[in-house]
């Protein structure tokens, strides 16, 4: 038992898990009736997937040594284009199933296209990821605004709204989607050849190139997958909110970077684990919704989020220095 | 060498002139003194902040907390003007002091704790904005004292138009010009400036060359804070009230303007002149779209496309040059062998 605990503390994920337990424990002690209430646990289970998926998407790009500032705007562009098609098909033909299939498919396709656009500019043209995706973010937001004219798109069939708001055997559908994506991402990053290539590119793109990795090709695919994941998050968000708008999920952009970094992903690339990001996303989600039910001002929650980000990095720095000594 | 540098900014100037010509053809009121004074006034703060961001980007860093910093300083001086002192000098001192302190925090987090600039400033942004919005609750601060408002309305070289309106150079230029000159001077004629370029090119070799890299980085973020303090005074004197949400997303505009001006986000490359042209491009495009009556929804699309295409063109150009270099080498080898 002692050995196990030592082993747990030795890894970054172990420390994160302990922090997670501590956060849950503190919340429970502070207000067991509120925090452990069915309502709160339910809303946690419905909110975590969209944030978790976006965090995984961000992590994938950060591992390559980049950053995807267009992440949430890809998601909203996808949900707006797909949502528009879905609501008009539903209104014109009344076929709920047809509208659902067309809408969801279009959301995923548009998101993948957004990823392809980023991937092309970053890998084949060679623009720095931060600038390429910053430009793309503005572009996607502009296109979204042009479609919605600042309003929201609604009128979705009930079957679509069910995706984000029902549970199978007590487990919310978004959670099921999240679990599937977690497994797929774990297989991709930690078990596949492409994952190894992505990590190598993040460590040193030149060395990767010389060791026979098709850097441009792999990067391109990574951005496409990142876009596709944003699309999945977009589907969940549009379905949960029963509408589509360009500003949805915009707070997730910086939070997803925070979750990746907290989860042990190196911001300069080449390092990152799915479990770490999952735990970090869970910690952030528990803190933000916990503070929310305690009635803490949401602006102060932001202050705390920023503090946690810097605090954890400071701890990392100190422990690493300690280890070196 | 000097000629080469002139050429570097030439494509940007050509684009700027071309865009201006197109706008003028569609709407002649673009090419009027009045419109240019308007442009100057509405982009003054952006230009100042771009100078600070230029230094940060030259070191290979980035600062996404600038919008939250200027928001914080405007809220502080807004309250100070109403409750503490109406003196303009005191306000300027207070604003720059607050700016420098916030900048120092960023600089020390980056150098002392070795937190990457984007993450450190992300964290401080979240905290600063959170505190400001908590304190103000998002409400506007109105009731700025009359003497400050009068100060903001002063015009240099005023001229009365035929229809009775008075136009002139806005007084806020007394903040802008010194900042531009100071930034240029620091970069061109000081050891710190050499250090900024050196460590942006390669931190380790700059270290070995004997530059005190940590001190330079802290200086850059503090200097940026100083500029933000002055920008806050200029902004408040133009707007005559404080809106805690006025700068939402402004950091992206500042970064985009600097990058449009040819600075490399990897560091070590960029100039004051380029950045001014970048801001000019950015503001002329926005202004032109309004004058050409293009719906505001299109503006983001155009700006996004311009950012991506201008940087892409730059990259393709570089790749071509690189390609040519390789070919020259091969030819040389071939001629040796022959």
Q: A268 — contact with chain B (CB < 8 Å)?
A: yes
End position of a domain, from candidates B294, B314, B329: B294
Please tell me the distance in Å from B161's CA to the nearest CA on chain A.
Answer: 38
Structure tokens belonging to residue B195: 């250090």
Whats the size of chain A, residue-wise? 325
- Give the distance from CA B284 to its chain's centroid: 15
* B208 and B327 fall within a common domain: no
d(CA B337, CA A238): 66
* B334 and B212 fall within a common domain: no
Q: For A131, which of B133, B265, B302 is closest by C-beta distance?
A: B265
Identify whether the C-beta of residue A126 lies closer than 8 Å to the C-beta of residue B319: yes
Task: Write out the residue range of the structural domain in which residue B258 sits.
Answer: 2-294
pLDDT averaged over every residue in chain A: 89
Please tell me the distance in Å from A9's CA to the nearest CA on chain B.
Answer: 22
Q: How many domains does chain B have?
A: 2
Q: A124 — contact with chain B (CB < 8 Å)?
A: no
Instruction: Say yes or no for a CB contact (<8 Å) between A130 and B120.
Output: no
* B202 and B238 fall within a common domain: yes
Q: A251 — contact with chain B (CB < 8 Å)?
A: no
Please tell me the distance in Å from B159's CA to the nearest CA on chain A.
Answer: 39
- Cβ neighbours of B134 in A, within 8 Å: 297, 299-300, 303
Instruction: Say yes or no for a CB contact (<8 Å) between A137 and B126.
Output: no
> Looking at residue B192, what is its pLDDT?
93
* B255 and B310 fall within a common domain: no
**Three-class SS state of B264:** coil
Instruction: Say yes or no for a CB contact (<8 Å) between A317 and B114.
Output: yes
Is the four-CA dihedral B26, B32, B34, B35 of positive or negative sign?
Answer: positive
Q: Quick one: closest CA in B to A254, which residue? A: B122
* B305 and B244 fall within a common domain: no
d(CA B76, CA B78): 5
* B243 and B325 fall within a common domain: no
Identify whether the C-beta of residue B45 lies closer than 8 Å to the C-beta of residue B231: yes
Q: Quick one: closest CA in B to A315, which residue? A: B113
* B313 and B251 fall within a common domain: no
- Cβ neighbours of A67 in B, within 8 Å: 118
Q: For A139, which of B120, B297, B301 is closest by C-beta distance?
A: B301
Q: What ipTM goes with this model?
A: 0.80
* B200 and B312 fall within a common domain: no
Q: A137 — contact with chain B (CB < 8 Å)?
A: yes
A149 dihedral zone (left: phi>0; alpha: psi -120 to 50; beta): left
Q: For A139, which of B259, B304, B311 is closest by C-beta distance?
A: B304
- Cβ neighbours of A321 in B, within 8 Å: none
* B148 and B197 fall within a common domain: yes
Give the CATH number for residue B257: 1.10.3470
- Cβ neighbours of B72 in A, within 8 Å: none
Instruction: Give me the mean pLDDT over the A65-94 stretch.
Output: 92
pLDDT tens track of chain B, all 338 residues? 455 555 677 878 888 899 899 999 988 888 888 889 989 999 999 999 999 999 999 999 999 899 999 999 999 999 999 999 899 999 999 999 999 999 999 999 999 998 889 889 988 998 999 999 999 998 999 989 999 999 988 888 888 888 878 888 999 999 999 999 999 999 999 999 999 999 988 888 888 888 899 999 999 999 999 999 999 999 999 999 999 988 987 888 898 889 888 888 888 889 999 999 999 988 898 888 888 888 878 878 887 888 888 788 878 877 787 777 765 555 555 555 55
Instruction: Say yes or no for a CB contact (<8 Å) between B298 and A142.
Output: yes
- Cβ neighbours of B285 in A, within 8 Å: none
Is the four-CA dihedral A215, A185, A21, A250 of positive or negative sign?
Answer: positive
């Amino acid at each position: 038992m002692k050995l196990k605990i030592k082993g747990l503390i030795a890894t970054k994920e172990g420390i994160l898990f302990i922090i997670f337990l501590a956060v849950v424990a503190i919340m429970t002690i502070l207000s067991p009736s509120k925090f452990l209430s069915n309502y709160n646990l339910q809303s946690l289970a419905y909110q975590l997937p969209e944030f978790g998926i976006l965090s995984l998407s961000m992590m994938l790009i950060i591992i390559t040594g980049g950053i995807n500032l267009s992440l949430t705007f890809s998601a909203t562009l996808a949900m707006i284009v797909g949502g528009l098609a879905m609501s008009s098909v539903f209104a014109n033909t009344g076929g709920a199933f047809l509208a659902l299939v067309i809408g969801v498919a279009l959301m995923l396709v548009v998101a993948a296209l957004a990823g392809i656009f980023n991937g092309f500019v970053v890998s084949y043209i060679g623009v720095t990821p931060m600038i390429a995706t910053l430009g793309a973010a503005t572009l996607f937001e502009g296109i979204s605004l042009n479609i919605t004219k600042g309003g929201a798109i609604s009128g979705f069939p009930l079957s679509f709204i069910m995706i984000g708001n029902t549970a199978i055997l007590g487990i919310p559908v978004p959670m099921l989607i999240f679990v599937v994506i977690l497994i797929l991402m774990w297989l991709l990053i930690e078990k596949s050849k492409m994952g190894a290539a992505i990590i190598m590119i993040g460590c040193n793109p030149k060395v990767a190139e010389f060791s026979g990795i098709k850097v441009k090709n792999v990067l391109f695919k990574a951005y496409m997958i990142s876009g596709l994941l944003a699309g999945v998050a977009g589907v969940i968000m549009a379905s949960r909110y029963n509408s589509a708008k360009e500003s949805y999920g915009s707070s997730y952009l910086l939070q997803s970077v925070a979750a990746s970094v907290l989860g042990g992903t190196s911001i300069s690339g080449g390092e990152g684990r799915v479990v770490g990001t999952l735990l970090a996303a869970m910690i952030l989600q528990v803190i933000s919704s916990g503070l929310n039910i305690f009635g803490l001002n949401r602006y102060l929650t932001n202050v705390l989020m920023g503090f946690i980000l810097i605090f954890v990095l400071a701890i990392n720095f100190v422990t690493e220095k300690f280890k070196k000594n | 060498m000097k000629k080469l540098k002139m050429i570097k900014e030439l494509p940007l100037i050509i684009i700027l002139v071309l865009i201006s010509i197109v706008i003028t053809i569609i709407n002649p009121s673009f090419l009027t003194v009045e419109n240019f004074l308007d442009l100057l006034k509405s982009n003054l703060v952006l230009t100042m902040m771009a100078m600070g961001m230029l230094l940060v980007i030259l070191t290979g860093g980035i600062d996404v907390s600038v919008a939250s910093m200027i928001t914080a300083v405007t809220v502080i001086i807004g309250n100070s003007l109403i409750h503490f002192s109406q003196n303009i000098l005191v306000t300027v001192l207070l604003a720059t002091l607050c700016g420098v302190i916030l900048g120092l925090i960023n600089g020390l987090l980056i150098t002392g704790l070795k937190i990457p600039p984007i993450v450190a400033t992300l964290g401080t942004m979240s905290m600063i904005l959170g505190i400001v919005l908590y304190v103000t609750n998002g409400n506007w601060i109105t009731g700025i004292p009359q003497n400050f408002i009068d100060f903001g309305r002063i015009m240099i070289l005023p001229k009365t138009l035929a229809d009775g309106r008075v136009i002139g150079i806005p007084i806020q230029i007394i903040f802008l010009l010194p900042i531009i000159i100071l930034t240029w001077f620091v970069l061109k004629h000081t050891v710190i400036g050499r250090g900024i370029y050196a460590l942006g090119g390669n931190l380790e070799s700059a270290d070995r060359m004997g530059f005190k890299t940590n001190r330079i980085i802290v200086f850059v973020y503090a200097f940026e804070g100083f500029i933000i303090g002055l920008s806050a005074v200029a902004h408040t004197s133009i707007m005559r009230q404080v809106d805690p949400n006025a700068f939402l997303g402004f950091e992206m505009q500042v970064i985009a303007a600097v990058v449009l001006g040819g600075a490399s986000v990897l560091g070590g490359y960029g100039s004051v002149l380029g950045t001014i042209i970048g801001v000019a491009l950015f503001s002329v495009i926005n202004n032109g779209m309004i004058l050409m009556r293009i719906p505001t929804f299109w503006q983001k699309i155009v700006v996004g496309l311009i950012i991506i295409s201008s940087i892409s063109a730059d990259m393709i150009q570089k790749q071509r040059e690189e390609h040519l270099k390789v070919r020259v080498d091969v030819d040389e080898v071939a001629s040796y062998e022959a």
